[in-house]
């Protein structure tokens, strides 16, 4: 009996040992190399290098993850005009990130401060860069109102630091997003040891700045080619600028700069598309049970009323909006929306995605060019109208060509404002051509803002059998969107010549330069708080009630959370 017990113990330990060896064998074999070739990945001697320890995309400063899904775009609770501007259509939006709050005066002032330091406006070459980015503070003025306090103080006074920035046109908002992309990625690479510490403050100047796309395409040209700032090899890591080959010879190492494969570079900050903004504002996730929505939400919060029914804040308004004729904030001393103009961000409860002020406070620019219809027959996935495809400009030496002080371009807007559309050190862009479009099925030219609505084929005057086809010219009064054509030019001695279109034959204000803005504002009635409502405004003009927030695409999995059947996370 004792012998049998002893033998059983020996067999028990033998089985455990074999199991351990088997698991170690599997583990080691899985780490031996590539599943494609069997070669070792990330070999110190060279070969294929990859960020095998990458886990998930880093959440950029100020952003909140919005998990994508399907929703009914354009479904409004009230449509008294019946103008077919909000025709309901089913869309799907991929997961993305969105700013938790609207961009504030403080955030925008940081942008202005950087421009002023790097591109001193007192220098003739750079004066239009800073001046072109300054918000229009005169939007506060009114013919029959005294608003000079906001004109003089709203942007810069610390009392309004956390209030949403206004007076920013669509072009300025997109330029801010580009700047933000570069500053965030610059900080990430500094943190990870690819850039010299504090160089973003001490070394930045007009001809030596950081640009994300320049760093990825030609890292040695970043910061004006200063090798003391752009480091060869990750500081504090095992990566070195040189390696030794099998013959003992020293040679320059490869992959010493961060690349897309490093997993460190964040996608660009940008304006959200109309579909993304509406989906995020509606936040139907709060109505979800299993794979359906329970009922319809009129506003970003649950219920059909603008006041809270919670005991602690019962009667409080859930957004900042105009409540009636001459009523921007209710009675003094009464629990109401607490504001007459804009209000400090996060003054009202967030929606079910954790986003603040998706109704009220200020309306917000989105990326889309406005059209009366959303063409869901053409696309129902990540819908967006406004694509203009470009590519890096390649010089005669076969390398990317950077913007210089001589090649930097400025746009003079119809209202006379001069705005810089690129910075020194960025990669010059040119439209895509036949090399990219030939025999493609998904796109066939650079500019697709007018696809299926607004191009020559869309007008009733287009003759499909005429010679020249789609390139046939139409008369000015035969355009599909016969909007006014204002123009401004500069003569040989620098005088600005404004040409105002005074024709009384124009039938619409729609053209390729009008952009959608969403959400109600402090100036709007509750009707406009519905996320599905949409309006448009010229992209080069600003108001005292339109602001913006940024978005960023999500790369990788749709969600960070394991799915549950009911409305739990």
CA distance 301 to 306: 9
Residues 6+ apart with CB under 8 A from 227: 220
Q: Of 63, 415, 469, 537, nearest to 269 (Cα)?
A: 63
The C-alpha torsion from 209 through 213 and 216 to 218, rounded to 10°, is -60
Q: Tell me what the pLDDT averaged over the chain comes to.
A: 87
pLDDT tens for each residue of 218-261: 999 999 999 999 998 776 454 455 544 455 554 455 568 999 99
pLDDT tens for each residue of 328-376: 988 888 778 889 999 999 999 999 999 999 999 999 999 999 999 999 9
Average pLDDT over residues 11-15: 61
pLDDT, residue 20, reads 57
CA distances from 474 to 215, 462, 479, 507, 511 (A): 44, 8, 7, 16, 16
In 58-73, which positions are buried (b, 16+ CB within 10 angstroms) versus exposed (e)?
Answer: eebebbbbbbbbebbb
DSSP E strand stretches across 63-172: 63-66, 69-73, 89-93, 96-99
**Residue pair 177/269 in contact by the 8 Å Cβ criterion:** yes
For residue 72, pLDDT over 50 is answered with yes
Q: What pTM, to 2 d.p., does this model score? A: 0.90
For residue 175, pLDDT over 90 is answered with yes
Query: Which token pair is 305?
Result: 């009323």
**pLDDT category, 440, cuts 50, 70, 90?**
very high
For residue 467, pLDDT over 90 is answered with no
For residue 170, pLDDT over 90 is answered with yes
Residues 6+ apart with CB under 8 A from 105: 154, 155, 156, 160, 161, 162, 163, 164, 165
For residue 105, pLDDT over 60 is answered with yes
Q: Which of 276-280, 399-403, 412-416, 481-485 has the lowest mean pLDDT?
A: 412-416
Please state, for a pLDDT cut of 90, what percent of the chain lies above it. 61
Average pLDDT over residues 123-144: 94
CA 566 from chain centre, in angstroms, equals: 31
**pLDDT category, 27, cuts 50, 70, 90?**
very low
Query: Which token pair is 508?
Result: 């619409």
**pLDDT category, 188, cuts 50, 70, 90?**
very high
Domain ranges of the chain: 64-231+252-430+517-560
CA distance 222 to 229: 9
**Residue pair 103/165 in contact by the 8 Å Cβ criterion:** yes
For the packed helices 170-191 and 105-118, what is the interaxial angle rounded to 10 degrees?
80
For the domain spanning 64-231+252-430+517-560, the CATH number is 3.90.1580.10
CA distance 269 to 188: 14
**pLDDT category, 193, cuts 50, 70, 90?**
very high
Average pLDDT over residues 199-213: 94
For residue 562, pLDDT over 80 is answered with no
**pLDDT category, 69, cuts 50, 70, 90?**
very high
Roughly how many angstroms between the first and final C-alpha of the chain, as a whole number? Answer: 56
For residue 11, pLDDT over 60 is answered with yes
């Amino acid at each position: 009996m004792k012998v049998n017990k002893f033998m059983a113990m020996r067999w028990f330990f033998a089985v455990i040992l074999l199991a351990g060896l088997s698991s170690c064998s599997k583990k080691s074999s899985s780490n031996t190399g590539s599943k494609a070739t069997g070669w070792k990945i990330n070999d110190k001697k060279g070969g294929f290098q990859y960020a095998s320890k990458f886990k998930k995309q880093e959440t950029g400063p100020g952003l909140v993850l919005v998990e994508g899904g399907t929703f009914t775009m354009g479904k409004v609770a009230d449509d008294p005009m019946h103008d077919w501007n909000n025709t309901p259509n089913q869309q799907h939006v991929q997961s993305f990130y969105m700013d938790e709050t609207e961009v504030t005066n403080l955030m925008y002032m940081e942008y202005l401060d950087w421009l002023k330091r790097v591109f001193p406006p007192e220098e003739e070459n750079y004066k239009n860069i800073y001046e072109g980015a300054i918000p229009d503070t005169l939007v506060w003025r009114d013919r029959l109102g005294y608003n000079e306090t906001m004109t003089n103080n709203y942007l810069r006074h610390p009392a309004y630091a956390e209030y949403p920035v206004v007076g920013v046109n669509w072009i300025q908002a997109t330029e801010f997003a580009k700047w933000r992309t570069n500053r965030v990625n610059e900080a990430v690479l500094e943190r990870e040891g690819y850039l010299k510490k504090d160089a973003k403050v001490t070394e930045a100047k007009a001809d030596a700045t950081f640009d994300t796309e320049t760093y990825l395409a030609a890292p040695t040209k970043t910061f004006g080619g200063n090798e003391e700032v752009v480091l060869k090899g990750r500081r504090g890591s095992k990566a070195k600028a040189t390696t030794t080959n099998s013959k003992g010879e020293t040679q320059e190492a490869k992959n010493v700069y961060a690349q897309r494969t490093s997993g460190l570079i964040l996608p660009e900050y940008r304006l959200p598309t109309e579909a993304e903004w509406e989906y995020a504002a509606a936040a139907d996730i709060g109505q979800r049970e299993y794979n359906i929505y329970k009922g319809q939400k009129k506003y970003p919060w649950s219920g059909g009323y603008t006041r809270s029914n919670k005991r602690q804040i019962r009667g409080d308004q859930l957004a900042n909006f105009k409540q009636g004729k001459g009523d921007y904030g209710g009675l003094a001393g009464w629990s109401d929306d607490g504001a007459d103009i804009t209000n400090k961000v996060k003054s009202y409860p967030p929606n079910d995605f954790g986003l603040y002020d998706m109704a009220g406070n200020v309306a917000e620019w989105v990326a889309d060019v406005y059209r009366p219809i959303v063409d869901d027959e053409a696309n129902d996935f990540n819908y967006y109208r406004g694509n203009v495809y470009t590519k890096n400009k390649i010089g005669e030496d076969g390398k990317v060509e950077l913007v210089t002080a001589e090649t930097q371009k400025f746009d003079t807007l119809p209202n006379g404002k001069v705005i810089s559309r690129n910075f020194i050190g960025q990669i010059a862009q040119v439209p895509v051509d036949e090399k990219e479009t030939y025999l493609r099925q998904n796109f066939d030219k650079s500019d697709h803002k007018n696809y299926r609505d607004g191009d020559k084929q869309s007008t009733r005057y287009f003759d499909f059998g005429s010679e020249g086809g789609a390139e046939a010219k139409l008369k000015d009064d035969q355009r599909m969107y016969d909007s006014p054509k204002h123009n401004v030019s500069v003569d040989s001695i620098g005088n600005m010549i404004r040409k105002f279109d005074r024709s009384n034959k124009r039938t619409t204000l729609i053209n390729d330069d009008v952009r959608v803005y969403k959400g109600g504002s402090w100036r709007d009635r509750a009707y406009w708080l519905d996320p599905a409502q949409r309006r448009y405004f010229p992209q080069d003009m600003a108001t005292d009630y339109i602001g913006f927030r940024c978005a960023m695409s999500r790369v990788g999995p749709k969600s960070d959370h394991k799915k549950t059947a009911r409305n739990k996370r």
